[in-house]
Amino acid sequence: MKQAGFPLGILLLFWVSYITDFSLVLLIKGGALSGTDTYQSLVNKTFGFPGYLLISVLQFLYPFIVDPGSWYIGRHFIIVLSTVTFTLPLSLHRDIAKLGKISFISTILTALILGIVMTRVVSLGPNIPKTEDAWVFAKSNAIQAIGVMSFAFICHHNCFLVYGSLEEPTVAKWSHIIHISILVSVFISVLFAACGYLTFTGFTQGDLFENYCRSDDLVTFGRFCYGITVILTYPIECFVTREVIANVFFGGTLSSVFHITLTVIIITAATLVSLLTDCLGIVLELNGVLCAAPLIFIIPSACYLKLSEERWTHSDKIMSCVMLPVGVVVMVFGFILAVTNPQDCTHGQEMFYCFPSNFSLTNISDSRFQLTTQLSILNISIFH
């Protein structure tokens, strides 16, 4: 919302959700046309080995770098402890269907977190000054916002795994599930985005929880719940990363020893990234434009256009022809903007309004105020 402008941001959220819905169904249709059952094999069948390598890299990178963490006291210890105690054991599962109930728990926690954010827009929002350009229709960084939204909605890298876990999977059944899932996801995303932005406007940070004061016990509980959702959903991302490596280097099958060893290596490497990175905004932008945009916009469209024998006036082909160039624009210009216009990070520093005795609306030259006017984008990303 901060990057795109509040009204345009809401419209873009609905647009990206629609594209996500369409492309997820398009992927399964492409798999049916090509007789394949994985994203990698679909691209390999359509574009050969170069396409196979490209999709393997993208599918590996996106789920690998999804949890940069937040900057709080004891952050490193908490990350290592939670990884060893929870993330690693859950990631050792071989059957993705066994993670379904775990993901459902994280969805319940997401609803709880949303309730906390909605509560604070009423109790905290009136106490925070609104920035001058808070209500403009559109801002120049809208493409960067699309990258973040693409990051939030993408689940294409594991859609074939989920599709294969369904009882009697069909395109019609898959379409019905996707429509409901995306509808719920965009509803939650709009509420998160609107409530977060209405509370903090131009002060909104890339990690929404860094906007709240550490003395806020209710939000601290929300941070705890969010940490649990990450712990419970990351194993699914690890599942995808491990499958990509298994397909590329081991022919798709792993012995028990290699399965455990590879999982430990992936989790260890991802944990190191989390320990070294605390700026969420730039991670969301770059991963969104470099990985999510191709996986959502470009590759599903390209595969369907090459495989389908429908007439060019068919609705699926028309949409594919629109999605492909839009994806290229988002990827190229989003990357340029993210590099040339990087978002600042507060590294966990408390916001100025957390110190009411030191804050005056007339003292707008205060250095703390100057810093917070340059903070990162809003995104609460929930898992598919």
| 259 in any annotated domain | yes
194-198, 262-266, 331-335, 374-378 — which is least confidently predicted? 374-378
Mean pLDDT across 223-232: 87
With 0-12 CB in 10 A as exposed, 13-18 as middle and 19+ as buried, what is 328?
A: middle
Percentage of residues in the chain having pLDDT higher than 90: 40
pLDDT classification of 367: cutoffs 50, 70, 90: very low
Distances (CA, A) of 246 to 23, 87, 242, 262, 321: 25, 20, 6, 9, 33
Domain CATH number, residue 236: 1.20.1740
| Cα first-last separation, the chain | 20
| 378 in any annotated domain | no
Given this model, what pLDDT does residue 272 score?
A: 83
pLDDT higher than 70, residue 332: yes
pLDDT higher than 90, residue 329: yes
Alpha helices in the chain (DSSP H): 6-34, 39-64, 75-82, 88-91, 100-123, 142-153, 159-165, 171-200, 217-249, 256-276, 280-287, 293, 299-307, 315-340, 367-372
pLDDT higher than 60, residue 359: no
Distances (CA, A) of 206 to 51, 69, 105, 209, 272: 33, 11, 25, 9, 21
Given this model, what pLDDT does residue 350 score?
A: 83
Q: Give residue 145's domain range.
A: 6-372
Q: Please tell me the total number of residues recorded for the chain in this structure.
A: 384
pLDDT classification of 274: cutoffs 50, 70, 90: confident
Given this model, what pLDDT does residue 141 score?
A: 87
| 145 in any annotated domain | yes
Residues 6+ apart with CB under 8 A from 269: 64
242: amino acid identity, one letter: R
CA–CA gap between residue 286 and residue 107 (Å, rounded): 26
Given this model, what pLDDT does residue 364 score?
A: 36
**Residue 65: enclosing H or E segment and its boundaries?**
none
Number of Cβ within 10 Å of residue 79's Cβ equals: 19
Question: Are the beta carbons of 174 and 163 closer than 8 angstroms?
Answer: yes
pLDDT tens, residue by residue, 299-310: 999 999 999 988
pLDDT higher than 70, residue 54: yes
Average pLDDT across the chain, whole number = 83
pLDDT tens, residue by residue, 82-128: 888 888 888 888 776 677 777 788 888 999 999 999 999 999 999 89
Given this model, what pLDDT does residue 65 score?
A: 61
Given this model, what pLDDT does residue 370 score?
A: 38
| 377 in any annotated domain | no
Of the candidates 116, 77, 84, which has an alpha carbon nearest to the alpha carbon of residue 220?
116
Tokens of 273: 């990234």
Mean pLDDT across 334-355: 80
Question: Are the beta carbons of 334 and 288 closer than 8 angstroms?
Answer: yes
pLDDT classification of 136: cutoffs 50, 70, 90: very high
DSSP letter string, 149-176: HHHHH--GGGHHHHHHHSSS--HHHHHH
Question: Are the beta carbons of 20 and 153 closer than 8 angstroms?
Answer: yes
| 70 in any annotated domain | yes
| 253 in any annotated domain | yes
Of the candidates 166, 150, 152, which has an alpha carbon nearest to the alpha carbon of residue 37?
166
Of the ranges 187-201, 218-232, 347-361, which is most confident?
A: 187-201
Percentage of residues in the chain having pLDDT higher than 70: 86
pLDDT tens, residue by residue, 312-325: 889 999 999 999 99
pLDDT tens, residue by residue, 158-172: 888 889 888 888 999
pLDDT tens, residue by residue, 116-131: 999 999 999 998 989 9
pLDDT classification of 22: cutoffs 50, 70, 90: very high
- Give the SS3 label for residue 182: helix
Domain count of the chain? 1
| 131 in any annotated domain | yes
| 84 in any annotated domain | yes
